[in-house]
C-alpha cells in the first residue's frame, strides 16, 4: 500500500513517532530465522537500543554486547540459562546481564520487545544478575493516587539497575496528571488501545503497535481515548547521576 506518501510517522529533534506501516525489517548479527525492527538506537539520538524482534518457530536471537531486557509480546521463547530452561510467554520478561549469553529460541512464531543498554556500574555495588518475571505478578500502583492509571514496575526498585521498564495502563479517559519534562529519555511501545500523545509542541493520535522515542526534556503528556484501556511499555534511564556520562567539551 502506498497511501500516496502519507504516514503518521514523524521525526523531530526531541521525539519521534514510528507507526507500523513505516517499519523496516533487517536481521541483526547472530539472528537465525528472525528479523528486527530497530526503533531507537544511537543512530537516532538515543543512548540505548530498542527493537522488536520477530522470530519464526525455531528462530533465535544473537548475543548482545550490552545488558538486555526482553518482554514477550506474542508467542513463546525458551531461554536456556545456567543449565535451566525458562519458558516466556506473552507478558513475561527477562533481564540479562551483558556477561550472560543465554540461548533465546522461539518455541512458536514470536514477537519480543528488546531493550539493550551499556551498563553504568555504581562504585561498591555488585551488578544485577539474570532474572525472569511475569507482569501479572507485579502489583499495579495507581499513579499519584489515580486508580484509572496503573503502573507496573517490571524491574526491581534497586539502585543497582541503571534503567527502568514499566507498563502503564490507562482506563478510557484517563491521562497523565501533568505535562512531564525530565532528564530521562523514553522508549515507548503502545501495546493496547490508543489516545493522544503530546510530544514537544505537537499532539499525535497514537494506537497499539506505535513506537515513540522521547529525548531528555521532551515535554510529554498522554490522554487515553476509545472504549478499551490503553497500555504501553515504557523504558527510561534511571538511578544514575546526570554527570555520570558527561564529557566536558574542550
* 3-class state of residue 20 by DSSP: helix
Closest distance to Mn ion from the beta carbon of 27 (Å):
32
Contact set for Mn ion, span 103-162 (CB under 5 A):
none
The residue of the chain with the least Cβ separation from ligand UGY equals 220
Closest distance to ligand UGY from the beta carbon of 182 (Å):
6
Task: Tell me which of Mn ion, ligand UGY, none is bound by residue 168, counting a contact when its beta carbon lies within the kind-specific cut-off of 5 to 8 angstroms.
Answer: ligand UGY
Contacts by 205-211, CB closer than 8 A, 24 or more apart = 205/8, 206/17, 209/19, 209/20, 210/8, 210/17, 210/18, 210/19, 210/20, 211/17, 211/18, 211/39, 211/40, 211/50, 211/52, 211/187
For ligand UGY, give the closer residue by CB, 36 or 168.
168
- The residues pairing with 30 across neighbouring beta strands, listed in sequence order, are none
For ligand UGY, give the closer residue by CB, 67 or 166.
166
Binding of ligand UGY by 168 (CB under 6 A): yes
For Mn ion, give the closer residue by CB, 14 or 180.
180
Between CA 218 and CA 14 the distance in angstroms is 6
Specify whether the CB–CB gap between 126 and 158 falls below 8 A: no
Contact set for ligand UGY, span 54-83 (CB under 6 A):
none
Count of residues that interact with ligand UGY, criterion CB under 6 A: 8
The single residue among 114, 231, 236, 237 that binds ligand UGY, judged by CB under 6 A, is 236
* 3-class state of residue 70 by DSSP: strand
Closest distance to ligand UGY from the beta carbon of 222 (Å):
6
Binding of ligand UGY by 152 (CB under 6 A): no
Closest distance to ligand UGY from the beta carbon of 189 (Å):
12
User: What are the cell numbers at 113?
Assistant: 520487545
Task: Tell me which of ligand UGY, Mn ion, none is bound by residue 234, counting a contact when its beta carbon lies within the kind-specific cut-off of 5 to 8 angstroms.
Answer: ligand UGY
The DSSP string of 118-153 is -----TT-PPP--EEEEGGGSPPEEETTEEEEEEEE
C-alpha distances out from residue 141 to 92, 93, 153, 244, Å: 19, 19, 9, 30
* 3-class state of residue 100 by DSSP: coil
The single residue among 12, 20, 180, 219 that binds Mn ion, judged by CB under 5 A, is 180
Contact set for ligand UGY, span 203-232 (CB under 6 A):
220, 222
User: What are the cell numbers at 179?
Assistant: 505535562
The single residue among 14, 56, 100, 180 that binds ligand UGY, judged by CB under 6 A, is 180
Contact set for ligand UGY, span 13-52 (CB under 6 A):
none
**Applying CB under 6 A, which residues contact ligand UGY?**
168, 176, 180, 186, 220, 222, 234, 236
Amino acid at each position: 500500500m502506498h497511501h500516496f506518501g502519507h504516514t503518521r510517522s514523524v521525526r523531530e529533534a526531541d521525539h519521534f513517532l514510528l507507526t507500523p506501516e513505516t517499519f523496516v525489517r533487517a536481521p541483526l548479527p547472530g539472528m537465525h530465522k528472525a528479523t528486527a525492527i530497530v526503533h531507537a538506537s544511537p543512530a537516532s539520538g538515543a543512548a540505548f537500543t530498542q527493537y522488536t524482534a520477530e522470530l519464526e518457530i525455531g528462530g533465535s536471537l544473537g548475543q548482545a554486547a550490552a545488558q538486555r531486557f526482553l518482554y514477550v509480546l506474542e508467542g513463546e521463547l525458551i531461554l536456556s540459562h545456567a543449565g535451566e530452561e525458562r519458558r516466556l510467554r506473552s507478558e513475561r520478561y527477562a533481564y540479562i546481564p551483558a556477561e550472560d549469553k543465554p540461548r533465546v529460541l522461539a518455541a512458536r512464531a514470536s514477537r519480543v520487545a528488546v531493550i539493550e543498554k551499556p551498563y553504568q556500574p555504581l562504585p561498591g555495588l555488585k551488578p544485577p544478575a539474570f532474572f525472569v518475571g511475569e507482569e501479572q505478578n507485579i502489583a499495579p500502583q495507581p499513579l499519584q493516587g489515580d486508580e484509572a492509571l496503573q503502573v507496573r514496575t517490571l524491574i526491581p526498585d534497586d539502585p543497582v539497575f541503571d534503567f527502568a521498564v514499566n507498563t502503564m495502563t490507562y482506563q478510557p479517559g484517563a491521562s497523565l496528571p501533568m505535562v512531564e519534562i525530565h532528564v530521562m529519555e523514553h522508549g515507548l511501545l503502545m501495546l493496547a488501545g490508543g489516545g493522544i500523545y503530546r510530544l514537544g509542541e505537537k499532539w499525535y493520535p497514537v494506537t497499539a503497535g506505535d513506537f515513540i522515542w522521547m529525548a531528555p526534556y521532551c515535554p510529554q503528556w498522554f490522554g487515553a481515548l476509545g472504549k478499551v484501556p490503553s497500555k504501553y511499555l515504557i523504558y527510561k534511564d534511571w538511578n544514575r547521576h546526570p554527570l555520570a556520562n558527561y564529557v566536558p567539551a574542550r
